[in-house]
Amino acid sequence: MTTSQTGRTAPWAKALGAVLLALLAAIIVAYSIGSSRETDREHSAFEATRTDAQRFADSVVAQRNTLPTERQDIQTALDTSTDNKNGLLFSMEPTKSRTEVVIQLTRSYERSLVLFGSSEATVDRCFTVIFELNEGRHLSANITAHTADERCSQVAQQNP
């Protein structure tokens, strides 16, 4: 009896191939789901910076009824309104009728399927906040959220 049969695959090889193929499919599905969830967490963190910017503007408006002119006042409001000092004051341009502030807010989110490096990542977003006195001499704030591609250093230079 000969041990070699041409044209046929051993049953154990077929079983091994099926197991490896199923394992590969499971890894691909897990990676796809993890990647989708990470994208959702990144988007949520990015949008949470908008809430932080609104909290900052509300904090400045609540503290005073005049235009903010001191950098330290803005920095204090930024520090108290953001969690864990996640705000950075880039520029402040006070004029007679308004004060324009450029800030960067940072949020962190959990990465998925991390092989090397940290499991936490951060997202930064730049905002321009314009404080103005309206007709009733009440302080109001107008917030402009910049895109993820716009750096605060560029925005601050564009708004001299």
The string of pLDDT tens digits covering residues 79-104 is 888 776 788 899 999 888 889 999 99
Per the structure, the complete domain to which residue 90 belongs is given by: 13-158
Nearest residue to 92 (alpha-carbon basis) of 64, 50, 127, 140: 127
Share of the chain above pLDDT 90, in %: 21
What pLDDT was estimated at residue 159? 64
Residue 3 domain flag: no
Residue 8 domain flag: no
The string of pLDDT tens digits covering residues 104-153 is 998 888 877 666 666 888 888 999 999 998 877 788 899 999 988 888 88
Tell the burial category of 102 from Cβ atoms under 10 Å away from its Cβ (0-12, 13-18, 19+).
Answer: buried
What pLDDT was estimated at residue 114? 64
- The dihedral region occupied by 117, where left means phi > 0, alpha psi between -120 and 50, and beta the remainder, is left
Domain count, the chain: 1
Contact 45, 109 (CB under 8 A): yes
Whole-prediction pTM value?
Answer: 0.75
Average pLDDT, the chain: 84
What pLDDT was estimated at residue 113? 66
